[in-house]
């Protein structure tokens, strides 16, 4: 069977690898960063919020990816909680009135959906909805994926790639899947790639009994995301396009905590910013015009530029990568 090299071991690269292995391909994963490594700003997946939640402005193809991905993680959360996937309620707040009918495609695939009453809304919030969905703990799930893939024969190799040709040459692969995220800017000379800086805080001990996600696209990109298998949660955040700073801004700590307390009714009012939290900084792999998911030439499949929705589309994207690889290698060979 053809050997495929996957460049990048973030969530897109790993789910593409998983899908390729299930389709019968031999796969080698090459990446500068590998699951289990220390968190780095340039590698977004370990620091992701990783809530399987919709993109309201998504095009139809992305919605298909999101719908398929939700079903995948929903099943995983019920069948293997050791993966770090958990079913959890999510409440999203809106600064403007929300029309649930505009997201009918989403409400149909969710097992629970509730539109908040006006008296439940924080000051300045015009609307809110609550759904049951899945949140994934990346620091559990990424190594989990790696272990499962290695058990099925997938090789992982550390490499700071200089070009896609180098990856093909060193691995001997017939095809390379470019899931290099932000790294595609230099590897592909893609000027559309734009880092989107995020800053959040890891709260080591969340309030007793707190087990829900809060989201608000209020200009500050506010969120609270508990992590399965820990007593902590992620408090965020910001979206700063074009900013590659990897140092935390202390002033943002206070701003984030203030916004979180506004949404949560003061649930985090006792958090001490000097002793209770650790800063989290990462660059989401943004791309002007949206992600790139396509064939280039006889031996390259691109899969990058998914910004902050990598986890939410990962399973669907992985299946699409397989379709593209089959076009290059001949689908029948992979099924023999």
Number of domains in the chain: 1
Query: 238 lies in which domain range?
Result: 3-329
Instruction: Please check whether residue 334 lies inside any domain of the structure.
Output: no
Distance CA 51, CA 311 (A): 7
Within a 10 A sphere around the Cβ of 157, how many other Cβ atoms?
A: 14
Beta strand segments in the chain, E: 3-7, 26-31, 51-52, 85-94, 113-115, 127-136, 155-158, 175-178, 193-203, 213-216, 222-226, 233-236, 240-241, 277-287, 292-296, 300-304
Residue 189: both structure tokens together:
């000379």
Instruction: Please check whether residue 20 lies inside any domain of the structure.
Output: yes
Question: Pick from 138, 171, 154: which is nearest to 18 by CA?
Answer: 154
Answer for the pair 156, 171: CB distance below 8 angstroms, yes or no.
no
Residue 6: both structure tokens together:
């996957």
Instruction: Please check whether residue 336 lies inside any domain of the structure.
Output: no
For residue 333, what pLDDT is reported?
42
Q: How many contiguous H segments (helices) and E segments (strands) does the chain have? A: 9, 16
Instruction: Please check whether residue 335 lies inside any domain of the structure.
Output: no
Instruction: Please check whether residue 310 lies inside any domain of the structure.
Output: yes
Instruction: Please check whether residue 273 lies inside any domain of the structure.
Output: yes
Distance CA 254, CA 251 (A): 6
Distance CA 134, CA 157 (A): 30
128-137 residues labelled b (16+ CB within 10 A) or e (exposed)? bbbbebbbbb
The residue written with tokens 């031996």 in the block is 299
The pLDDT averaged over each successive group of 10 residues in the chain (336 residues) is 96 99 98 95 95 78 90 96 95 83 62 85 91 95 98 98 98 98 95 96 96 86 93 95 93 96 96 97 95 98 97 98 97 43
Distance CA 169, CA 167 (A): 5
Distance CA 66, CA 311 (A): 9
- The answer for residues whose C-beta is within 8 angstroms of residue 238's C-beta and 6 or more apart is 197, 198, 199, 220, 221, 252, 256
Distance CA 30, CA 91 (A): 38
> In 3-state terms, what secondary structure has residue 5?
strand
Distance CA 198, CA 235 (A): 11
| 122 phi/psi in degrees, rounded to 5 | -65, 160
**CATH for 309:** 3.40.50.720
For residue 336, what pLDDT is reported?
32
Q: Is the peptide bond before 293 cis (omega within 30 degrees of 0)?
A: no
Instruction: Please check whether residue 11 lies inside any domain of the structure.
Output: yes
User: Got the DSSP string for 197-244?
Assistant: EEEEEEESSPPTT---EEEE-SSS-EEEEE-TTSS-EEEE---EET--
């Amino acid at each position: 069977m053809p050997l495929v090299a996957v460049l990048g071991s973030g969530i897109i690269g790993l789910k593409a690898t998983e899908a390729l292995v299930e389709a019968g391909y031999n796969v080698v994963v090459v990446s500068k960063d590998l699951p289990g490594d220390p968190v780095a700003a340039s590698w977004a997946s370990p620091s992701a919020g990783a809530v399987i939640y919709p993109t309201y402005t998504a095009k139809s193809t992305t919605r298909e990816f999101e719908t398929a991905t939700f079903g995948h993680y929903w099943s995983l959360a019920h069948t293997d909680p050791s993966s770090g996937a958990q079913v959890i309620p999510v409440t999203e707040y809106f600064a403007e009135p929300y029309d649930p009918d505009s997201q009918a495609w989403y409400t149909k695939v969710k097992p629970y959906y509730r539109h908040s009453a006006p008296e439940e809304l924080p000051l300045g919030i015009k609307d809110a909805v609550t759904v049951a969905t899945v949140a994934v703990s990346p620091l559990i799930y990424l190594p989990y994926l790696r272990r499962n893939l290695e058990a099925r024969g997938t090789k992982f190799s550390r490499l700071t790639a200089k070009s896609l040709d180098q990856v093909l040459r060193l691995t001997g692969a017939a095809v390379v899947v470019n899931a290099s995220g932000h790294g595609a800017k230099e590897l592909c000379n893609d000027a559309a790639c734009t880092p989107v800086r995020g800053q959040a805080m890891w709260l080591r001990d969340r309030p007793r009994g707190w087990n829900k996600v809060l989201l608000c696209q209020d200009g500050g990109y506010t969120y609270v995301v508990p992590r399965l298998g820990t007593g902590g949660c992620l408090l965020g955040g910001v979206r700063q396009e074009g900013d590659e700073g990897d140092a935390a801004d202390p002033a943002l700590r206070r701003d984030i905590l203030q916004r979180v307390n506004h949404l949560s009714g003061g649930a985090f009012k006792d958090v001490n910013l000097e002793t209770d939290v650790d800063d989290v900084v990462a660059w989401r792999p943004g791309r002007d015009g949206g992600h790139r998911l396509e064939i280039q030439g006889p031996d390259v499949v691109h899969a990058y530029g998914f910004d902050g929705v990598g986890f939410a589309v990962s399973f669907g994207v992985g299946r699409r990568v397989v379709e593209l690889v089959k076009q290059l290698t001949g689908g029948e060979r992979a099924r023999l």
